[in-house]
Amino acid sequence: MARNSKTSRKGARESTAAVVIREMELPDLAPVFALGQRLFTAEKWPTLYRSWDQYELVHLFGTNGEYCLVAEAGDKVIGFALGSLMEKYRSPWRYGWLLWLGVDPRWKRHGVGRRLMRRLTDIFIEENARMILVDTDEANEDAIRFFRRAGFDNEIRHVYLSLNLDTHPKYIEHRESET
Ligand SMILES: CC(C)(COP(=O)(O)OP(=O)(O)OC[C@H]1O[C@@H](n2cnc3c(N)ncnc32)[C@H](O)[C@@H]1OP(=O)(O)O)[C@@H](O)C(=O)NCCC(=O)NCCS
């Protein structure tokens, strides 16, 4: 049993060596989107305040392409990290923001996420970022463990509230004017 688990661990390491981390390119948009759809489902993360959609992906790629990375095994995209660089008004600090990180579940715990994170960190440092920000659902334990292991700390809880406008007089008025 022990021998088997050791062998499979070694096998995993060998296959991971064939994984290439590179900047995302136009043909990667479709596989990245498809992988994200499998990972970021509304049923799984109903409280995600931002949703995974093709417009955000295309927008990020168009505006922050240098912070969009993919992990490729063979000719298959098996992971991605999408970030952006943020500058605050009147602040000398620049922040790297990791917006989306995803790894194909078949490649989970093979170090792919770690490699994506390391490469993105290097890129942020080259761009003079002094801090990297990330957020995730508090029930997303895999991701929280991953980020803690990657050195993230100073966890701050944030509360999202919503106001259902169904009963708002203006909303009712607006709806009635449209019918
Ligand atoms: C979170 C995620 C990106 C991690 O990717 P990964 O490639 O599996 O992670 P790695 O193999 O690089 O893990 C690096 C270290 O993080 C920790 N870690 C990662 N996943 C973990 C888990 N499920 N449980 C406990 N620790 C975990 C471990 O310490 C691991 O090192 P080890 O395997 O040597 O012990 C991946 O699980 C995923 O895509 N999740 C769904 C999407 C998501 O939630 N994204 C994050 C929010 S945008």
Residue 139's pLDDT band, with cuts at 50, 70 and 90, is confident
- Ligand 1 mean position to 164 CA, how many Å? 35
pLDDT: is 36 or 162 the higher one? 36
Q: Does the structure show a pLDDT above 70 at 11?
A: no
What is the residue-averaged pLDDT of the chain?
88
- Report the pLDDT value the prediction gives residue 129, as an integer from 0 to 100: 96
Span from the CA of 3 to the centroid of ligand 1 (angstroms): 24
Atom of ligand 1 nearest to the CA of 136: 47
Ligand 1 atom closest to Cα of residue 104: 39
Taking 60 as the threshold, does the pLDDT of residue 13 lie above it? Answer: no
Q: Hey, what are 110's tokens? A: 């093979």
Q: How many CB atoms lie within 10 A of CB 147?
A: 21
Map out the domains of the chain as residue ranges.
20-178
Determine if residue 151 is left, alpha or beta; phi over 0 gives left, psi from -120 to 50 gives alpha, anything else beta: left
Instruction: Please state the CATH superfamily assignment of the domain spanning residues 20-178 in this structure.
Output: Gcn5-related N-acetyltransferase (GNAT) (3.40.630.30)
**Is the pLDDT score of 1 beyond 50?**
no
Percentage above 90 pLDDT, the chain: 69
- Span 78-122, pLDDT tens digits: 999 999 999 888 888 999 999 999 999 999 999 999 999 999 999
pTM score, whole prediction: 0.87
Query: What is the tens place of the pLDDT at every residue in 34-65?
Result: 999 999 876 666 555 567 889 999 999 999 99
pLDDT classification of 15: cutoffs 50, 70, 90: low
Q: Residue 70 pairs with which residues in a beta bridge?
A: 22, 80
174, exposed or middle or buried, with CB in 10 Å at 0-12, 13-18, 19+?
exposed
- The confidence band for 67, taking pLDDT boundaries of 50, 70 and 90, is very high
Rounded distance from Cα 40 to ligand 1 centre (Å)? 15
Q: Which residues line ligand 1 (CB under 6 A)?
A: 39, 100-103, 108-114, 136, 140, 142-143, 145-146, 149
Q: From the CA of 45, give the closest atom in ligand 1.
A: 44
Distance (angstroms) between ligand 1 centre and the Cα of 163 equals 34
